[in-house]
């Protein structure tokens, strides 16, 4: 009988190398970069089936509702969603998942995977997992190495004890190789004894905890205290914040894997892409004979070896005579870069943050558990927004110190509470909410509700909000 495998999806990265499409407020794992599903949804589907338990997701507080929404869209119910009090890299996140899982299924096999990679052949990948499960049950930590097709300097590599082109079975890992220079990468590719490090691991919870006890005992103690002190918050499990503060910010490779003596590698020959930059997206999307990839409203004239992508409705991106160019157009930002320097987009994000540009980390469209809103116009004492509320959803009962609001319903029907009065407001009707008045917006219908909000006042920031009641238990602050 096949042992059930418990997927652990890591979902906390910010994906700055794919700016402006990926930003801190809505990173790449939630974006539809290469297909109808987001990368996160595709990852959850890949790790599901008769031999797999429901996924265990580790994420940050800002993404918790987005995780549930996207899993629901994929028809998947999570086993649990663990909320990290703060991002601490992969080692604490994976260990927290192991401790939580072991308390409910002692010694369970856990398959740890990033949620932002592309592995299009699900059957082939699941076959590789099945081939690795025997070693994992026997106390080995099995990582999956990708057979390289180029001398890639953007990945870490794995060194094996011989050629990788043999029957795919777990093999002892000789050593990890950090991201190499071009000459080293060429030598490793030619030598045939190295694989790319995909950061995917299969092991039992007891094996990982034993490795942490040996190589990272302080981290084990702190994370155990955080898991033990975790609290239930709606459909989420919040890890205790106080013990988490003392946890090192460290990857699982540095904390454990590079020190452990029980690591195996399973060579994987299937397609894989970590979408770690725009060049990787260009490659994954399949360039035409001229090396050109376009998406969205794009017109390309005599362009070669380029990626032209418009994500802005109604914004036509036109390229003429371009070669080796990445051009990404969003409603509030445009990236134009030489393909060879596209990885430097992280530097651009750093400089945008230094100058206080909101586009560095935030989109014009801001997602909330009840729907989303976007700013259409902004002045010194006014702001115009489009607000879309999902069917059956409701904003919090709230008030503002510094602004009044006018709401005009343009699609659907709203139930609006102002003070002690609640009433239905339909298309082409409007209401006024005075400064300081308690109010709530709800969508009682079965179709999305769209309204235009006009704010007026001395301060229009999202943090000017007092919540009195909230079905999402968000607390105070801009997002809570």
pLDDT (tens digit, 9 = 90+) per residue, 425-440? 999 999 999 999 999 9
Run of H or E residues at 325: strand 325-329
Kindly give the pairing relationship between strand 263-268 and strand 141-146: parallel
Q: Which domains does the chain have, with CATH numbers?
A: 5-268 (3.90.550.10), 287-352 (no CATH), 365-469 (2.60.120.10)
d(CA 38, CA 41): 5
- DSSP for 374-432, written as a single string: EEEEE-SSEEEEEEEE-TT-BPPEEE-SSEEEEEEEEES-EEEEETTEEEEE-TT-EEE
Strands 365-368 and 334-338: unpaired
Structure tokens at 263: 């690591």
Q: Is 318 exposed, middle or buried (0-12, 13-18, 19+ CB in 10 A)?
A: middle
The model scores a pTM over 0.95: no
Chain segment 140-174, per-residue pLDDT in tens: 999 999 999 899 988 899 999 888 876 678 999 99
Helix axes 122-137, 39-46, angle to 10 degrees: 60
Report phi then psi at 6, rounded to 5.
Answer: -105, 110
Structure tokens, 379: 């002045």
End-to-end CA distance of the chain: 46
- Kindly give the pairing relationship between strand 141-146 and strand 5-11: unpaired
Per-residue pLDDT tens over the stretch 36-81: 899 999 999 999 999 999 999 999 998 999 999 999 999 999 999 9
- Banded model confidence at residue 1, pLDDT cuts 50, 70, 90: very low
pLDDT, one tens digit per residue, over 331-387 is 999 999 999 999 899 999 999 999 999 999 999 889 999 999 999 999 999 999 999
Strands across the sheet containing 325-329: 292-295, 306-310, 325-329, 334-338
- Contact call for residues 70 and 321 (beta carbons, < 8 A): no
- How many other C-beta atoms lie within 10 A of the C-beta of residue 156? 15
């Amino acid at each position: 009988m096949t042992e059930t495998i418990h997927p652990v999806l890591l979902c906390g990265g910010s994906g700055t190398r794919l700016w402006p499409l990926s930003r801190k407020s809505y990173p790449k794992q939630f974006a539809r970069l290469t297909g109808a599903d987001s990368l996160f949804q595709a990852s959850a589907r890949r790790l599901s089936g008769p031999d797999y338990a429901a996924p265990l997701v580790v994420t940050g507080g800002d993404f918790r509702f987005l995780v549930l929404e996207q899993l629901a869209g994929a028809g998947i119910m999570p086993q649990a969603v663990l909320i990290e009090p703060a991002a601490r890299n992969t080692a604490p996140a994976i260990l927290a998942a192991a401790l939580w899982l072991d308390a409910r299924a002692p010694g369970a096999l856990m398959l740890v995977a990033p949620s932002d990679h592309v592995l299009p052949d699900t059957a082939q990948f699941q076959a590789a997992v099945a081939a690795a499960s025997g070693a994992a049950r026997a106390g080995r930590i099995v990582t999956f190495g990708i057979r390289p097709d180029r001398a890639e300097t953007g990945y870490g590599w794995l060194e094996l004890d011989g050629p990788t082109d043999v029957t795919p079975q777990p093999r002892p890992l000789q050593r990890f190789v950090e991201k190499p220079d071009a000459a080293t990468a060429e030598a490793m590719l030619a030598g045939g004894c190295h694989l790319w490090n995909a950061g995917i691991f299969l092991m039992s919870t007891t094996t990982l905890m034993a490795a942490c006890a040996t190589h990272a005992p302080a981290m084990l103690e702190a994370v155990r205290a955080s898991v033990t002190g975790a609290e239930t918050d709606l459909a989420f499990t919040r890890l205790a914040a106080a013990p988490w503060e003392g946890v090192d910010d460290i990857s699982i490779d540095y904390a454990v894997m590079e020190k452990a003596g029980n690591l195996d590698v399973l060579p994987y020959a299937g397609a894989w892409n970590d979408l770690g930059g725009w060049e990787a997206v260009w490659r994954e999307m399949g360039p035409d004979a001229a090396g050109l990839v376009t998406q969205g409203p794009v017109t390309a004239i005599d362009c070669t070896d380029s990626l032209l992508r418009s994500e802005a409705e109604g914004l036509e991106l036109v390229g003429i005579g371009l070669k080796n160019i990445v051009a990404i157009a969003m409603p509030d930002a445009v990236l134009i870069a030489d393909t060879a320097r596209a990885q430097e987009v992280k530097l651009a994000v750093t400089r945008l943050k230094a100058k206080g540009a909101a586009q560095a980390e935030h989109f014009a469209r801001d997602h909330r558990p009840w729907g989303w809103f976007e700013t259409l116009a902004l002045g010194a004492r006014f702001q115009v927004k489009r607000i879309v509320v999902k069917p059956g959803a409701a904003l919090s009962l709230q008030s503002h110190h510094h602004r009044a609001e006018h709401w005009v319903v343009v699609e659907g029907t709203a139930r609006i509470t102002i003070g002690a009065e609640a009433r239905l407001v339909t298309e082409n009707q409007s209401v006024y909410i005075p400064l300081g008045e308690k109010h709530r917006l709800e969508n009682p219908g079965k179709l999305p509700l769209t309204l235009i909000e006009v704010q007026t006042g001395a301060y229009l920031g999202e943090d000017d909000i007092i919540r009195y009641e909230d079905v999402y238990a968000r607390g105070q602050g801009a997002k809570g």
